[in-house]
Amino acid sequence: MRLFKLSIILGMILLSCKREKKPELKLLPAEWKDGETGAYAVIVKGDTIGKTVYKINYVKEGYKIDVLSEAESEGKKTSDHSVVTVEKNTLRPLKEEREIKTSGGAYSVDADYTRKSVKIKLKTPMGEKSTEIPLSGNFFDNEMVTMLLRNIPFEKGFSAKINSVVPLSATSVPIEITVMEKEKINVPAGEFEARKVNLKFAGSEVNIWYNENPPREMVKYEDKQSGLLMVLLSKKQFQVSGEKAEES
């Protein structure tokens, strides 16, 4: 996801898994605001290596989710910029545009979704490739999943399964989602009454904490296996239409 970012920038490899039909995912109406932005520190094994900034804008089709992650580790800089366009009511993905720059070269992805498949154009230092993979069930683009989870019912015990589509590797990964208990979470932005959400996928497990109150922003993301941690930097950096979000 981005789970915030299950991607090359965070060194995670997603494997292709068998796809199964899943029941419709229960989603609440999105309360995303035009111009909403947020910033997170990216920490790996205790060291702050970069920052992730996202922005949401209204477009004719629905919403455009723009996420930029920049990191530096051992003198090597990496950037990962994705823009995912989604339908307003269903939050289904319509298009992903992504550009990744690493010390090994640049990669770009263009993915166009239909109800049954995704057509992918990939440019890498090794050349260009086009492919199409079939899709079924509750599928969403990998780079917008953490935003999607802001709209599930925050009720302890709620569970669902989705398929996270990763155009970069032309795979679809099943994710099991379970809503856990409330916890008080302290991050640089302050203390939050947050709802913990557990995700299991491809042999990995991630926990994400969301503000219990609107705008239900992601407060903390933790993958203990990789040592990856993301935390909300400041309430001043979480904005809606140019104004500060309400204090929670």
Residues 77-114: tens digit of each pLDDT: 999 999 999 999 999 999 999 999 999 999 999 999 99
What is the 3 state secondary structure string of the chain?
CECCECCHHHCCCCCCCCCCCCCCCCCCCCCCCCCEEEEEEEEECCEEEEEEEEEEEECCCEEEEEEEEEEEECCEEEEEEEEEEEECCCCCEEEEEEEEEECCEEEEEEEEECCCEEEEEEEECCEEEEEEEECCCCEEEHHHHHHHHHHCCCCCCCEEEEEEEECCCCEEEEEEEEEEEEEEEEECCEEEEEEEEEEEECCEEEEEEEECCCCCCEEEEEECCCCEEEEECCHHHCEECCEECCCC
Mean pLDDT of 53-78: 95
Domain ranges of the chain: 8-234
Quickly count: other Cβ atoms within 10 Å of residue 103's Cβ: 9
Average pLDDT, rounded, for the chain: 88
Which of 24-28, 124-128, 135-139, 148-152 comes out lowest in average pLDDT?
A: 24-28
- pLDDT grade for 155, boundaries at 50, 70 and 90: very high
What does the DSSP 8-state code read for residue 6? Answer: -
Using one digit for the tens of pLDDT, what is the confidence trace for 135-148?
998 999 999 999 99
pLDDT tens per residue, range 177-229: 999 999 999 999 999 999 999 999 988 999 999 999 988 999 999 998 999 99
For residue 171, pLDDT over 90 is answered with: yes
- 10-38 mean pLDDT: 65
Higher-confidence residue of 167 and 19: namely 167
pTM for this entry: 0.85
